[in-house]
Amino acid sequence: MNAKKKGLAPVAGFRFVGLAAGIKKKAGALDLGAIVADHPVPTAAVFTRNRVKAAPVRLAARRLRNLQARAVLVNAGNANAATGPAGEDAALRTTALFAEALGCAEGDVIPCSTGVIGHVLPIEPFERAMPELVAALGEDATTFSQAILTTDKGPKVAERTFRAQRRDYRVLAIGKGAGMIHPNMATTLAFAVTDAPLEGTALRAVLRAATDATFNAISVDGDTSTNDTIVLMASGKAGGKPLTGPGERAFEAALTEALGEVAQAIVADGEGAEHVARIQVEGLRSTKDARKIAETIATSMLVKTAMHGCDPNWGRLLAAAGRAGVSFDPDQAEVTIGDVAIFRDGATLLDAATEKRAAAVMKRPRYSITLRLGGGPGTAHYDTCDLGHAYVTLNADYRT
């Protein structure tokens, strides 16, 4: 969904804002945003597993041990990562400024940053912008969805409703990311809010499950960022008792759909990407084995460059599967691109006509590649994109 075309429907209990604070080099670019709940609400998050964690990630993790927050403060243009004690102080000071302006406890403000690594986050833009940031808070999350972007072509937003306890509840998910994408919970940030009532421990469990099925099954370039963060907040404003059982499962399904839509939009927006493919692996002994092969194929540079050239190179697909460390019989393998079978029972099926059909599928913006590697129950998928010249050009010049 393109947030620029229309405003986003409100989620009871939350206000949003995005504005230009002067953090990015480009004058007038939106680069500072916030999500604010009416009062402290149950909040959960998942963070990067990169051992080099940005200052805002470390501070956010500490503050969310009690599974509660009032606000999220997000800046783009500066990751505040690998910045030592000065970066830690900047994360503390900027959130303190926002807490004072809101009239809430400093510990209830969760910081998130994205952008260039290695530069301490400047305080002055926050000091100048703080009065406007609070005054401009409103129910529409459109400007927030734009203010968190870096190299993205546009916002990534998804909305879902679900029914439980004879009530209709809403879920809104907003994300950013285009490069350094290989979340293992790149510069991926995502935020989800709901008006449903949930307790913190349930919120954390649902978020982890939804993240594993979505953001942990995508890759653009194999790089896991220092700042990856997904935050989930529940206001409970739509009423009812805290969701459990079927209600909690309905919420998890809605959240997974919303995060999945945002995650797929991130892959489609991969820097320089022209094609998105779902790598589907079937017939293994376990889901874990299937996932390992799907991830290995999805992150193979040879596979991704073949995607860019629309080349149905089954050899690269099987070679990547073969080095994943999972046992399977290549003589039982079948490889299909879209609905075109290109390899089966140890032999290629690519004659001139079949290759032309498979290449035509690969010219589509989105398609699937399926590997059936046996008769077992294990199945898994990974979403990936092609890798071409534009990715190198953009990232070679990123800091300059």
Q: Give CA 75 to chain center in angstroms.
A: 16
Contact present, 373 and 280 (Cβ < 8 Å): no
Residue 230's beta-bridge partner residues? 46, 190
The position carrying tokens 């959960």 is 44
Contact present, 156 and 175 (Cβ < 8 Å): yes
Least confident interval from 3-7, 38-42, 57-61, 63-67: 3-7
Residue 397 has pLDDT above 50, yes or no: yes
The model's pLDDT over 262-296, given as tens digits with 9 standing for 90+, comes to: 988 888 776 667 888 999 999 999 999 999 999 99
Residue 177 pLDDT: 78
Residue 48 pLDDT: 87
Residue 288 CA to residue 379 CA, distance in Å, equals: 8
- 384 given a catalytic annotation: no
Domains and CATH numbers, the chain: 14-268 (3.60.70.12), 276-396 (3.10.20.340)
Q: Which of 150, 187, 214, 384 is catalytic?
A: 187
Q: Order of strands, edge to edge, in the sheet holding 378-385?
A: 218-219, 378-385, 276-284, 366-372, 334-337, 340-344, 347-348
The model's pLDDT over 227-243, given as tens digits with 9 standing for 90+, comes to: 889 999 999 999 999 99
Residue 4 pLDDT: 42
Nearest to 328 by CA among 369, 382, 303, 292: 292
Residue 153 pLDDT: 83
Residue 388 CA to residue 376 CA, distance in Å, equals: 35
Residue 220 pLDDT: 60
For 206, left (φ over 0), alpha (ψ -120 to 50), or beta?
A: alpha
Residue 188 pLDDT: 80
Residue 174 pLDDT: 98
Residue 229 pLDDT: 94
The model's pLDDT over 291-329, given as tens digits with 9 standing for 90+, comes to: 999 999 998 989 989 999 999 999 999 999 999 999 999
Residue 163 has pLDDT above 50, yes or no: yes
Give the chain's length: 400
Phi, psi of 108 (to 5 degrees): -95, 5
How does residue 26 score in pLDDT terms, banded at 50, 70 and 90?
A: very high
How does residue 357 score in pLDDT terms, banded at 50, 70 and 90?
A: very high
The position carrying tokens 């998910």 is 173
Residue 5 has pLDDT above 50, yes or no: no
Residue 200 pLDDT: 97
Neighbours of 21 (CB within 10 A): 25
Least confident interval from 11-15, 128-132, 179-183, 346-350: 179-183
3-state secondary structure the chain: CCCCCCCCCCCCCEEEEEECCCCCCCCCCCCEEEEEEEEEEEEEEEECCCCCCCHHHHHHHHHHHHCEEEEEEEEEEECCCCCHHHHHHHHHHHHHHHHHHHCCCHHHEEEEEEEECCCCCCCHHHHHHHHHHHHCCECCCHHHHHHCCCCCCCCEEEEEEEEECCEEEEEEEEEECCCCCCCCCCCCEEEEEECCCCCHHHHHHHHHHHHHHCHHHEECCCCCCCCCEEEEEECCCCCCCCCCHHHHHHHHHHHHHHHHHHHHHHHHCCCCCCCEEEEEEEEECCHHHHHHHHHHHHCCHHHHHHHHCCCCCHHHHHHHHHCCCCCCCHHHCEEEECCEEEEECCEECCCHHHHHHHHHHHCCCEEEEEEECCCCCEEEEEEEECCCHHHHHHHHCCCC
How does residue 49 score in pLDDT terms, banded at 50, 70 and 90?
A: confident
Report the percent of the chain where pLDDT is more than 90. Answer: 77
What is the pTM (predicted TM-score) of this model?
0.81
Q: How many CA atoms lie within 13 A of 64 on its CB side?
A: 27
Residue 173 has pLDDT above 80, yes or no: yes
Residue 96 has pLDDT above 90, yes or no: yes
**Interacting residues of 253 by C-beta distance below 8 A, sequence separation 6+:** 162
